[in-house]
Chain A
Amino acid sequence: MDKKIEILFPEFCNLYGDISNMKYLHKCIPKANFIETNFNDEPAFVTQKVDLIYMGPMTEKTQEKVIEKLKPYKQRIEQLIEENTVFLITGNAGEIFGKYIENEDGSKIEALGIFETYAKRNMMHRHNSNFIGKYEEIEIVGFKSQFTLGYGDNQKNYFAEVEKGIGLNEQSKLEGIKKNNFISTYVIGPILILNPEFTKKILEKIGIEEPKLALEEDLKNAYVQRLKELKSL
């Protein structure tokens, strides 16, 4: 059966070329059904079985709207996580699933509260860094560029162990959240294009055996060079 991939709110959640992840995935699995759910639509995952749910980074105002939009579906999301549905959530989209987002003035925006982590905004100090982190046996490479840092305990459900750069915050060496097949990471941009082995892992998770990547050799060459370069910095 053809795979079903849901992209949540692509008109908003695509600040740093992030939608390219899904365009690339489409090249890898051209027969899959990619559902683009706009903000005013009901997410497909509410009533259908989807194999992968993707959501990318968004502006701060949009975060607040998306939290309100997804609140009615909190139980459904928790159920899907328990049932091993694959989620790939990048950049500050991960904050939607945490406890709250705190503004500079101390006010808090209550989030979905599915995980114990929370975020603090600092709009005049943007954090930028390169990233290498180990997820299972794969060294994930990428970039972070964000106004927020994450806090809270992710020791039992982190996504990657940091080799270069930061984890949830500058003191943390544990990046993102992973519970069953739910993965969220602050890494932004074309994470799947930058990390061919990780992309294969995602494809395996959605049930594709021995996945073949589009432009695999060229992606691997760029990956090897980046990994070497980032390690040398």
Chain B
Amino acid sequence: MKKNLKFYIVLYLAKLSRIALKLIGRDATYFPGKLAVTLCPDFLGRIDKPKTIIGVTGTNGKTTVCNMIEDVLKENGYEFIDNHLGSNINSGLATALIEGATLLGKQKKELAVFEIDERSSVKIYPYITPTYLVCTNLFRDSLKRNAHTEFISSILSNNIPSQTTLILNGDDLIVSNLSPNNNRIYFGIDRLKTDTDKCENIVRDITVCPKCDSKLEYDFVRYNHIGRAHCIKCNFQSPKINYEVTNIDFEKMQMTIKSKSEEKYDLINNNIINIYNMLATITVLKELGLNQEQINPILKKQKIVDTRYSKEKEGNIEIITQLAKGMNPIACSRAFDYVRKEEGNKAVFILLDDLHEAANSSENIAWHYDTDYEFLNSESIKQILTGGARYLDTYVRLQIAQIPKEKIVHQREETTLVDKLNLKGIDKIFILHDLYSIDLKNQLKKKVKDKILEQNKQTEN
């Protein structure tokens, strides 16, 4: 697509808006791109793009994978543009491209790393051809926006450019069937001791063969539709994995990845979600030409940002905060699974209200019934404390999961929940929070720490 006069005028306006916003101390990570795509809807097609583009899409893990890719590239001296401060829709990508472009619309850097919202495929891929597109997983997400996985996978398959090499989670049968004619590389994790033969989750979005509609037989199930399967009638099966984790040593916190050879990588933490995120990162970086020595030393220093996960000890009690994205049943179910499998006696705070919805409307709570609250029905979980606009709904949901009333504290006001926290015999306290509840999570965490300190003082006296 050629640059025309309108394109140049819009480019200059967008660049000027960026300078003006910065001068007045405002955030310029969204507006310039929004202005550009509003005034010139095919702006993304007209602006030059870096020679190599890494795109990362999928329901869960895109931000983490992008952050890891960017850190490894940066430490190895690569220069690139990215949208990590802006949005992951067309205007966010436009902002990054505007910032990276000269006044003639040429890109100053040869590499880009873009997080790409799956729902925005229609507005992005007609104009941007990723060299590599990583897809981490496809699950049910906000039902109001994303509807269901069949819809999301079809808009991805209908829009991903045919020249793009796909880097796909081979343990996700929805992901592994995206754009079947594209060149593809699969990553996956071989059967683990914790995998099962039966699905424990409420939701499994692929149960029949996409080729012949016959029943799919799972060779093993990790969670939801993650696992390996084959069709009982035709030749359809999970793909052959190109980058496969063949062993995880949780004691040494190391994993072995088999591709053309076997290599060891250090784990950042023991959560399977993060192991998948690391594996996706390693796969794309290896395909880009980096080697284990360039990747592992940087990757192992990575810390999951505090807004997603944190762990600290106050006295004898661990306080763990974990992001559990509201309206995202699989992310919440993973968080619940993580809590139940941790050792020790636990108390759990649940703050999953979508505060944006709570402020403007009444949240559609259907997603709570796709979420495995049943995982919280565990002997080791001694108390569950839930607050927020939907506290009465959560109370019902917890009881439908057969959790005894006596274990549940529910009230509208979230921060005073801590007053009802019973620390007796508790080894770990989990605060599960939504993306929009970071401040609330911090307040609660501080109050929990104060309560533990106070109790410890009383014990000493």
A residues near B (Cβ < 8 Å) are 11-12, 14-20, 23-24, 27, 39-40, 59-62, 65, 123-124, 126, 128, 130, 143, 145, 147, 188-190, 193-194, 215, 218-219, 221-222, 225-226, 229-230, 233
Contact = CB atoms under 8 A, between A and B. Distances in A.
A61 B148 CA distance: 12
B415 interface: no
Contacts of A11: 207-208
B148 A15 contact: yes
Majority SS at the chain B contact face = helix
A189 B369 contact: yes
B272 interface: no
A152 to B, nearest CB: 24
Contacts of A19: 202, 369
Contacts of A14: 203
A7 B365 CA distance: 22
A219 B369 CA distance: 15
B111 to A, nearest CB: 32
A126 B150 contact: no
A128 B145 CA distance: 9
B372 to A, nearest CB: 11
Interface stretch (B177-185, B235-243, B395-403): B395-403
A128 B399 contact: no
Contacts of B334: none
A17 B151 contact: no
Nearest to B214: A40
Contacts of A143: 364-366
B122 A124 contact: yes
Interface string B337-379: 0000000000000000000000001101111111100000000
Given A16-B367, A40-B215, A61-B150, A221 B400 contact: no
6 contacts: A12-B207, A16-B370, A20-B369, A126-B145, A147-B151, A189-B365
Given A19-B202, A126-B144, A218 B399 contact: yes
Majority SS at the chain A contact face = mixed
Given A16-B143, A126-B147, A218 B365 contact: no
A28 to B, nearest CB: 11
Contacts of A27: 400
Interface in B382-399: 392-393, 395-396, 399
Contacts of A222: 392-393, 395-396
Interface string B134-149: 0000001001110110
A225 B388 CA distance: 13
A221 B365 contact: no
A145 B396 contact: no
Contact of A130 (B145, B361, B368): B361
B392 to A, nearest CB: 4
A215 B392 contact: no
Given A15-B143, A65-B213, A218-B392, A189 B364 contact: yes
Contact of B367 (A17, A65, A128, A225): A17
Contact of A230 (B145, B150, B362, B370): B362
Q: Which 7 A-B pairs have the closest CB atoms?
A: A17-B369, A189-B366, A20-B369, A222-B392, A16-B366, A143-B364, A59-B150
B435 to A, nearest CB: 19
Nearest to B393: A222
B144 A221 contact: no
Contacts of B362: 130, 226, 229-230, 233
Q: How large is the interface on B (under 10, 10 to 19, 20 to 34, 35 or more residues)?
A: 20 to 34
Nearest to A194: B365
B364 A145 contact: yes
Nearest to B203: A14
Interface string B173-215: 0000000000000000000000000000011000110000101
B395 A218 contact: yes
Interface string B423-454: 00000000000000000000000000000000
Contacts of A145: 143-144, 147, 364, 366
Contacts of A126: 144-145, 147
From A18, A61, A124, A190, residue with most partner B Cβ within 10 Å: A190
B395 A188 contact: no
Contacts of B208: 11, 39
Given A59-B150, A124-B122, A17 B368 contact: yes
A145 B213 CA distance: 27
Interface in B2-35: none
A125 B140 CA distance: 18
Given A20-B369, A222-B392, A225-B392, A193 B400 contact: yes
Nearest to B400: A24
B396 A219 contact: yes
Contacts of A190: 365-366, 368-369
Contacts of B392: 218, 221-222, 225
A103 to B, nearest CB: 13
B153 to A, nearest CB: 10
